[in-house]
Amino acid sequence: MPSIMEKGRMVKALELTDLCLFTEARYTRHITQADLNTPFQDHPMSLEHFPSGSFIMPPENIFRAYVPQQARK
Amino acid sequence: MGPWIEKQRNILDFTLASLLRRKGKNAALLLVYTFIVFVLASVMFFTHSIKKEAGLVLQGSPDIIVQRTVAGRHDLIPASYLGPLTKIRGVASGRIRLWGYYFDPITGANYTLLVPEDFSAGAGAAIVGSGISKSRLASEGDVIVLRAHNGESLVLTIKGVLSEKSELISADLVLISEPDFRKLFGISKGHGTDIVLTVRNKKELSTIALKITEALPDARPIIRDEILRTYESVFNWRGGIITVLLAGAVFAFIIFAWDKATGLSAEERKEIGILKAVGWETSDVLLMKFWEGAALSLSAFLTGTALAYLHVFFASSPLFGPALKGWSVLYPEFRLTPFIDPVQIATLFFLTVVPYTTATIVPSWRAATVDPDSVMR
């Protein structure tokens, strides 16, 4: 637990958002900061090609149809 | 109570002796069984503790992060966005955050460059994560040279290395000053990477996020709950290619175990016949088969789970290493804090021990109810 508290303090001080698990691509390094179409970053038919992309699930919102905030109301 | 326990002990004794008589066959089954439990338990331990650790560690991440998206991509955010954002009722403060990625051609690794709010080391200095320190063989007092956007070299003196204990969040970090960051990437004073907001009442986070998208339609707010939820769902152990690969192995094992448990060999049938002939009741035979299944599956379950614990929490999951590392050069060597979910252990127990034990009883019951004379023939 002390190491978790130490990490927690660092997250707060440096305003970090993600765990440093996969440094191979920007959307695997910062999973929570990736935009909605990152796996197709180069062109629409460019499929995900990083090995760690197969290890993690796509973000939750990918499974939902995208509805702009205004239209949701 | 005494005679009952004595009877169970004697039957168990007989069962173990009978298992040892078919050493090779049972050892092979035990080995495969243990391996399956080991892999499944490793995945469970790893994913559960990483989710738990992420949840605890990232509690301190910013309340709201506001990104600007242009053509579906994260873009630099103008400093002028800070005004309208801080004017939203409920927002206590806001700050432009500067961070980005740097590909180091020397090591072939990607670094995350970040400008902390209070960077006391000053311009020309850097504080690096222990992963970078190891891969560049650089420690305090050494210099690292980064290539700026215009081809010029930026020389930074390492003023400190972040602790190894925090490698899970800081292995690839390079903390530098604001002027150095802007010089390196050519980002003007009027722009930043994103904006972090502090909110007074945490219950209002989603309302404020809605107000942000109304005030600045090209902005994308990310609230802390979303960050925590992402880590909750990302490592869902039912998801991902690992489970797909595992499914094949698990089904192969199910067929193997089913075949072993349900099909009695001629030798085993003969054994049951002899036991019946010397006066064993059908219930005694079933009890013996129950103990046989339980001894085998419990040993596999306990050994597999214990090995998985050692694998994940002491050896830092070397089996998942290649999948986790992917193509990244810089990979944190972290040791997870052991968090175990009793429900998951119970699930694993009921999915492995119970079906196997019951599967061994049914065919024995069939053999035990037949006339001993015909079974022995």
> Average pLDDT in the B238-265 region?
73
Whether residue B162 and residue A10 make contact (CB cut-off 8 A), yes or no, is: yes
Together in a domain, B216 and B283: no
Give me the pLDDT at residue B365, please. 78
φ/ψ of residue B318, rounded to 5: -65, -25
What DSSP letter does each residue of B172-205 carry, written as one string? TEEEE-HHHHHHHHT--TTEESEEEEEESSGGGH
Among B220, B229, B323, beta carbon nearest to A60: B229
Q: Look at chain B and report how many structural domains it folds into.
A: 2
Answer whether B300's CB lies under 8 Å from B34's CB. Answer: yes
Which of B198, B213, B234 terminates a domain? The answer is: B234
Together in a domain, B114 and B134: yes
Residue range of the domain that includes B368: 2-57+237-376
Together in a domain, B9 and B126: no
Together in a domain, B209 and B71: yes
CATH of the domain at B156: 2.40.40.20
Which of B197, B217, B234 terminates a domain? The answer is: B234
Residue scoring higher pLDDT (B347 or A37): B347
**Chain B: residue nearest A58 by CA?**
B234
Give me the pLDDT at residue B258, please. 78
The DSSP secondary-structure symbol of B117 reads: S
Report d(CA B233, CA B229) in Å as an integer: 6
**Chain B: residue nearest A59 by CA?**
B230
Residues of A in contact with B170 (CB under 8 A): 10, 14, 16, 20
The whole-model pTM stands at 0.82
Interface confidence, given as ipTM, is: 0.77
Give me the pLDDT at residue B62, please. 94
In the chain, the amino acid numbered B303 is T
Residues of A in contact with B324 (CB under 8 A): 21-22, 52, 55
Q: What is the mean pLDDT of chain B?
A: 87
Residue B92 has pLDDT above 80, yes or no: yes
Taking only the tens place, the pLDDT of each residue in B293-340 is 889 899 999 999 999 999 999 988 888 777 667 777 788 888 888 988
Together in a domain, B18 and B77: no
Task: Looking at mean pLDDT, say which of A18-32, B18-32, B77-91 comes out highest.
Answer: B77-91
Together in a domain, B141 and B75: yes
Together in a domain, B150 and B257: no
Together in a domain, B73 and B222: yes
Which of B191, B208, B234 terminates a domain? The answer is: B234
Together in a domain, B159 and B87: yes
Whether residue B173 and residue A14 make contact (CB cut-off 8 A), yes or no, is: yes
Residue B154 has pLDDT above 90, yes or no: yes
Taking only the tens place, the pLDDT of each residue in A6-61 is 899 999 999 999 988 888 888 888 888 887 666 566 666 666 667 676 666 665 65
Together in a domain, B147 and B281: no
Report d(CA B318, CA B2) in Å as an integer: 48
Residue B238 confidence class, pLDDT cut points 50, 70, 90: low
Answer whether B91's CB lies under 8 Å from B198's CB. Answer: yes
H runs (alpha helix) in chain B = 2-21, 23-57, 82-87, 130-135, 167-170, 178-185, 205-215, 224-234, 241-262, 266-277, 282-309, 321-325, 342-369, 372-376
